[in-house]
Amino acid sequence: HVGERVRIAGWLHSLRRLGGVSFLVIRDGWGIVQVVAETEAELGPLQDGASGVESIVAVEGVVVSEAQAPGGIELHQPRIEVMVPVTEVPPVSLNKRKISASLGTLLDHAVVTNRHLARRAVLRLAAGAMAGFRSTLSDRGFTEIQTPKIVAAATESGANVFTLDYFGRPAFLAQSPQFYKQNMVGVFERVFEVGPVFRAEPHDTTRHINEYVSLDAEFGFIENHFTVMALLRDVIAGILTEFHEQYAAELEILRVRMPEVPEKIPHIFFPEAQELIFRRFKTDVRGEPDLSPQDERWLGEWAQQEFGSDFLFVTGYPMRKRPFYTHPDPEHPDYSNSFDLLFRGTELVTGGQRLHLYSDYVEALERAHLPIEPFEAYLEAFKYGMPPHGGFAIGLERLL
């Protein structure tokens, strides 16, 4: 459109006056465009400063190629119209590279602060992650499902659930779509869901929130958890490909160093990981039922040095630290056919193979001292032929 006269509309992102020339930046839902006003008359209704940044404006001008301008073009000879002026000064400056405000301010004024280019880029990457997740699995024959979020029983056995009154009966907000997605393997064989989950867990970390979006997948006719890990590798690669192909501008705004996904992500067995930490980092965590955040950081450092990989699978977590539906390792029954995927030393994904025989579920519930009655609807599917199956869940907010 260089040389053409066009009309754009958006938010007044910034206005700078340098000598007799004014530079306006207009922001819309996709990016920013610079407008050059060489006279006060061209500024029109913006001359007196009554219409501040974030006012909605329409600008008509001639497109001129300019390598230094955002996007390589700018508008000259503008005619400016203020469509909706702001009534107050924004609570934070939205045209700086970073917002200098407390978390409380960011959250209290999220309807405004989410307009900032960096915060908006994160939200757009979230959309890209969901798109990449969906397309990768759809291309592999998976069916997208939507499961209930108000449930009659907790997904796991813990008490960390939000309770509510469902017309005089107790109900809960779903911690996970786990039971439903397993049951739907008996219908479609391969399923996935993108939806909210709720965890009533008090916390004060950067790793946990009470409501988040979970990217869940479950599929049948697997050999073991390594089949699930292979699919997860392809899903992560698919999400990153989506970022590269569709969200380059957002990655540039955030200055993200994109990882490479190896053709085969390295893996280490849980007790071997603890032994490695003991030998290499002189801290004895052998026999501990789980990995601490520091343990994960050490393993991430080792994976980078040993394999040049940002990713590492830790397999075979102790059965006592996994949910009752987790399949044990046939050769090491105290350990599970499950895994965590670490990314740069932080747990990113949890998954594994599930039990698929009804009798195994009865025994597992007995070992966990859980009654069968609350799980009868879930367990019914396993009376009528369920294939060996497994899956994983990616926390969207942690991914980003």
Domain count, the chain: 2
pLDDT of residue 374: 87
Residue at 14 is within a domain: yes
- Give the pLDDT band (50/70/90) at residue 376: very high
The model's pTM is 0.94
Residue at 5 is within a domain: yes
Instruction: Looking at the structure, tell me whether residues 299 and 353 fall in a common domain.
Output: yes
Instruction: Looking at the structure, tell me whether residues 267 and 390 fall in a common domain.
Output: yes
Task: Indicate if the pLDDT at residue 205 is higher than 80.
Answer: no
Instruction: Looking at the structure, tell me whether residues 138 and 103 fall in a common domain.
Output: no
Residue at 192 is within a domain: no
Task: Indicate if the pLDDT at residue 157 is higher than 70.
Answer: no
| Whether the Cβ atoms of residue 155 and residue 174 lie closer than 8 Å to each other | yes
- Show the tokens assigned to 41: 């008359």
- Per-residue pLDDT, averaged over 224-241, amounts to 99
Residue at 303 is within a domain: yes
pLDDT of residue 74: 97
Domain residues for the domain of 86 are 1-115
pLDDT of residue 220: 99
Instruction: Looking at the structure, tell me whether residues 221 and 97 fall in a common domain.
Output: no
User: What is the percent of the chain with per-residue pLDDT over 70, rounded to a whole number?
Assistant: 98
Residue at 163 is within a domain: no
Instruction: Looking at the structure, tell me whether residues 78 and 218 fall in a common domain.
Output: no
- Give the pLDDT band (50/70/90) at residue 88: very high
- Tens of pLDDT, residue by residue over 329-340, are 999 999 999 999
- Show the tokens assigned to 321: 């630290």
Question: In this predicted structure, which of 82-96, 122-136, 145-159, 377-391 has the lowest mean pLDDT?
Answer: 145-159
Instruction: Looking at the structure, tell me whether residues 71 and 94 fall in a common domain.
Output: yes
Which runs of consecutive H residues, i.e. helices, occur in the chain?
40-43, 103-108, 110-113, 117-138, 178-188, 225-246, 248-254, 270-281, 293-307, 358-367, 376-380, 396-399
Instruction: Looking at the structure, tell me whether residues 75 and 135 fall in a common domain.
Output: no
DSSP state letters, 152-185: SS-SSSSS---EEEETTEEEEE-S-SHHHHHHHH
Task: Indicate if the pLDDT at residue 158 is higher than 60.
Answer: no
Q: In what order do the strands lie in the sheet with 346-353?
A: 143-144, 190-198, 211-220, 389-395, 346-353, 338-343, 311-315, 267-269
- Per-residue pLDDT, averaged over 223-248, amounts to 98
Task: Indicate if the pLDDT at residue 206 is higher than 80.
Answer: no
The CATH number of the domain holding residue 348 is 3.30.930.10
Residue at 165 is within a domain: no
pLDDT of residue 115: 96
- Give the pLDDT band (50/70/90) at residue 208: confident
C-alpha span between 170 and 120 (Å, rounded): 38
Residue located via tokens 């940044």: 53
The CATH number of the domain holding residue 72 is 2.40.50.140
Instruction: Looking at the structure, tell me whether residues 105 and 252 fall in a common domain.
Output: no
- Per-residue pLDDT, averaged over 348-369, amounts to 97
pLDDT of residue 156: 65
Q: Average pLDDT of the chain?
A: 95
Instruction: Looking at the structure, tell me whether residues 135 and 34 fall in a common domain.
Output: no
Instruction: Looking at the structure, tell me whether residues 43 and 137 fall in a common domain.
Output: no
Instruction: Looking at the structure, tell me whether residues 109 and 252 fall in a common domain.
Output: no
Q: How would you label 301-323 residue by residue, b for 16+ Cβ within 10 Å and e otherwise?
A: ebbeeeeebbbbbbbbbbbeebb
With the CA atoms of 99, 104, 107 and 108 taken in that order, what torsion angle do they form, in degrees rounded to the nearest 10? -110
Q: What are phi and psi of 283, to 5 degrees?
A: -125, 125
Q: Which pairs with CB-CB distance under 8 Å and at least 24 residues apart come from 273-280?
A: 273/299, 273/314, 276/302
- Per-residue pLDDT, averaged over 77-84, amounts to 96
Task: Indicate if the pLDDT at residue 226 is higher than 70.
Answer: yes
Residue at 385 is within a domain: yes
What's the one-letter identity of residue 174?
Answer: A
Task: Indicate if the pLDDT at residue 267 is higher than 90.
Answer: yes
- Give the pLDDT band (50/70/90) at residue 27: very high
Residue at 120 is within a domain: no
| DSSP conformational letter for 46 | G
pLDDT of residue 87: 92
| DSSP conformational letter for 318 | B
Instruction: Looking at the structure, tell me whether residues 79 and 137 fall in a common domain.
Output: no
| Whether the Cβ atoms of residue 329 and residue 198 lie closer than 8 Å to each other | no
Q: Which residues pair with 352 in a beta bridge?
A: 338, 391
How many Å is the Cα radius of gyration of the chain? 26
